[in-house]
Amino acid sequence: MNRRSIIAGVVFTAVSLGTRVTADEQTLYGYSAESSRTERQWEEKLRAIPSPENLRSYMQHLSARPHNVGSAYDKENAEWILAKFKEFGLDAHIEQFDVLFPTPKERLVELVEGGPKFVAKLQEPPVPQDPTSNQQNEQLPTYNAYSIDGDYTAPLVYVNYGVPEDYEQLERMGVSVKGAIVIARYFHSWRGIKPKVAAEHGAVGCLIYSDPHEDGFVQGDTFPSGAWRPKDGVQRGSVADMPVYPGDPLTPGVGATKNAKRLNIKDAPTITKIPVLPISYADAQPLLAALTGRVAPEGWRGGLGVTYHVGPGPAKVHLKVKSNWDIKPVYDVIAKIPGSAFPDEWVIRGNHHDAWVNGAEDPISGAVAVLEEARSFGELLKAGWKPKRTIILCLWDGEEPGLLGSTEFAEEHYDELRAHAVAYVNSDSNGRGYLGIEGSHTLEKFSNDVARDVSDPETQLSVWKRSRLHEIAEAKSGEQRKEIRERADLRIPALGSGSDYTAFLQHDGVASLNIGFSGEDGGGIYHSIYDDFYWYTHFSDTDFVYGRALAQAGGTAVMRLADADLLPFEFGDFADTVQTYLKELKALSEKTRDDIRERNREIEEGVFKATDDPRHPLVAPAAEAVPPHLNFTPLENAVEEVTRSAGEYRKAFDQANGNGGTRLASASLAEVNHLLIESERKLTNSQGLPNRPWFKHQLYAPGFYTGYAVKTMPAVREAIEQKEWKQADEAIVVVAGVLRDEAALIASAASNLAAAK
């Protein structure tokens, strides 16, 4: 998997000092002046170590053959990584889980009526100049993992991206997908949403294709001439219902150990309700060309040289999907550097190592950075560095099918992680461009600080400064620009899902960050056989300088967390962020009311009747009850408490930071650090979200109907979106309670810090 956004961070506090100082002279947040100096020296050594040549050679090795879950090379890679960790001087082991992992037995897509008889190729051809593209014997066929088995022949309907709003439009067009096979294009939601929503609307099958508009020749020249998806390229991927729970479908909430209690496959709720297959745009074209009916609305038209119609039919498609439903091992490779002062406080870093095929970009470009970080830590340890806290480096297996390795690990070690984990720093894929950082807002300031100390290989600016200027360039309004220019820290987006931080953050309540470079590395080989060493070294971070920058960023973050006197959690940015969420929710609720009121008025005025074109009639919407006002007061009060306690913490910190911050180095801060570690845990509750109890975090979750994209304060936001007003009012109380507890924790940390000697 792989999902990145461009954003980054660190301001630093030169502003408040009133003088211009260089980064080196700045005292690190959470460090005494003295420990900051020492830390800076170690960090500089660290950042000098990662080598592009090593990254390149690791990638060449790890992506030399297909290494999906269950493949021989997946296991070989795990053992090779383990050996590397040991070679670097680290204590390491492999932790194995046994998970349900279906692989294709039968796949068929054919046009049986409504156009020239056509059987989809479902096959990605090798490319002569690309030496690993011809390893067909080891390549997983193109498929969507965790599609239910099925065999249907039915009329085809084009459903655009296949998200709920598309079905609203279909309804207005008078088109039903009941009993139909839908064809949806990739993008605008995580892929698993498409069969889920299709099934909710009565479809019997689902095809997902890569349209050249988003993912092919419209974007640029196609592989091997260019970086973009060729006509026969297919995006594999999981379609398990991960917004319900990720990980092994048979062992929700517990580690998939040998003897774990397992659900029957037929009872596993995250397996799709209808069969699904992904296809290339070459395979999609004859199917789409055979549709008639209404011409697709403007926003629905893709880049194929055809008129897009919605159908249904006359195209009739035969879809057959059958899998081998086997249990396969996943091999998480774990290395540990024990902490010298606080061994029970764990700083965790991870990236997955499994791929859909060769996976040079996804995930090896990120995995090699973690390996190089491990080597760097090994070097520093040899040179005498003693991290205060325990560092755990993880190369996960089974991320692609469903975040399997990381989720089973986070479930299996739930209690330990709740007790010990300080933070989890994830990466996945990496490319050229800007450092993207997403994550917990208690670490927003921290992540800005890290970005300030990493250098961009193209411009030699700090990656923070480059991101800041990029955000100014991309700002949509003067107001946005003003905020960027005036706010000390760049905002970081919240985490939804799509990579291995999910279980740590959203199930275990561990403060998490996800980092990676991107933005100048376009391409369309995602989850295809063409995501390989040849492609990566021709079209992405070809000289691995951004790979080095990622190792520098990841290494710096981990090290700075591990060595801090006072853990660098900060609550001003956090309070500011929850304030904006509250504002958004109030606006969303008002907008929903206004929209319904306006639509009712238009129905009454006769707008829909008057503007209906009898040659292309639409179904007018029905009037709806105007929703009640929601009672946001509990949240307003809770957010205010968070803001107030954040101020108290800031004040206590400033006092402790006086006189060279010697008080920060005090041993009496153990309790404060413990409270800081708890601060993310406090944002979870044991019941979890309504209807998906696995997701415990009350601030961040992937949307039930977006899959990747985050919904912040999800219980409230999704209730409003789904017009469940009673549930929204209840959720406000729950989230307010969580925030009040958080505020109390922060206040307690503040008074503890103030009392520290």
Site of interaction with its own copies (CB under 8 A): 212, 217-222, 226, 228, 295, 301, 303-308, 432-433, 458-459, 461, 465-466, 469-470, 472-473, 478, 481, 520, 594, 598, 602, 605-611, 613-615
Contact between 181 and 113 (Cβ < 8 Å): no
Q: What angle do CA 185, 237, 330 make, to 5 degrees?
A: 170
List Cα–Cα distances, 223 to 2, 3, 534, 609, in angstroms.
Answer: 20, 21, 11, 49
Residue 422 CB, nearest approach to its own copies (Å):
33
Q: By C-beta, is 415 or 613 nearer to its own copies?
A: 613
DSSP for 575-619 reads: HHHHHHHHHHHHHHHHHHHHHHHHHHHHHHHTHHHHT--TTS--P
> Token match 């000289």: residue?
543
Query: Closest CB to its own copies among 83 and 461?
Result: 461
**DSSP conformational letter for 627:** P
Among residues 435, 414, 437, 417, the alpha carbon closest in space to that of 425 is found at 437
235: tokens are: 């995006």
What region, left, alpha or beta, does residue 634 occupy, with left being phi > 0 and alpha being psi -120 to 50 degrees?
alpha
Between 480 and 687, CB nearer to its own copies: 480
| Vertex 537 angle, CA 534 and 541, to 5° | 145
Cβ proximity to its own copies, 616 vs 757, nearer residue: 616
Cα 453 from chain centroid (whole Å): 24
SS3 366: helix
Report the nearest approach of its own copies to the CB of residue 295 (Å).
Answer: 5
CB atoms closer than 10 angstroms to residue 222: 20
The residue among 464 and 581 lying less far from its own copies, judged by its C-beta, is 464
If the CB atoms of residues 129 and 460 are measured against its own copies, the closer one turns out to be 460
The length of the chain, given as a count of residues: 757
Q: Toward its own copies, which CB reaches closer, 77 or 430?
A: 430
HSE-up of 490 (CA within 13 Å, CB side)? 29
Of 57 and 307, the one with the shorter C-beta distance to its own copies is 307
CB of 311 to its own copies, least distance (A): 14
Q: How far is the CB of 667 from its own copies (least distance, A)?
A: 44
Residue 18, Cβ density class (10 Å: 0-12 exposed, 13-18 middle, ≥19 buried): exposed
Q: Which is nearer to its own copies, 244 or 288 (CB)?
A: 288
Judged by CB, which is closer to its own copies: 125, or 220? Answer: 220
CA-based end-to-end distance of the chain:
47
462 vs 497, beta carbon nearer its own copies = 462
d(CA 243, CA 171): 25
- Cis? peptide before 312, omega within 30° of 0: yes
The smaller minimum CB distance to its own copies, of residues 192 and 433, is found at 433
Distances (CA, A) of 126 to 61, 140, 227, 668, 731: 20, 14, 15, 63, 52
Query: Least distance (Å) from its own copies to the CB of residue 542?
Result: 10
**Least Cβ distance, residue 458 to its own copies (angstroms):** 6
SS3 543: coil
Contact 71, 360 (CB under 8 A): no
**627 upstream amide cis, omega within 30 of 0:** no
Provide the CA 515 distance to its chain's centre, in angstroms.
10
Cβ 721 to its own copies, closest distance in Å? 21
Minimum distance from residue 560 beta carbon to its own copies (Å): 25
Return all residues near 730 (Cβ < 8 A) that are at least 6 apart: none
Beta carbon of residue 472, minimum distance to its own copies (angstroms, whole number)? 5
Say which amino acid occupies 223: F
As measured in angstroms, the least distance from the Cβ of 459 to its own copies is: 6
Least Å from the CB of residue 627 to its own copies: 17
CB of 502 to its own copies, least distance (A): 31
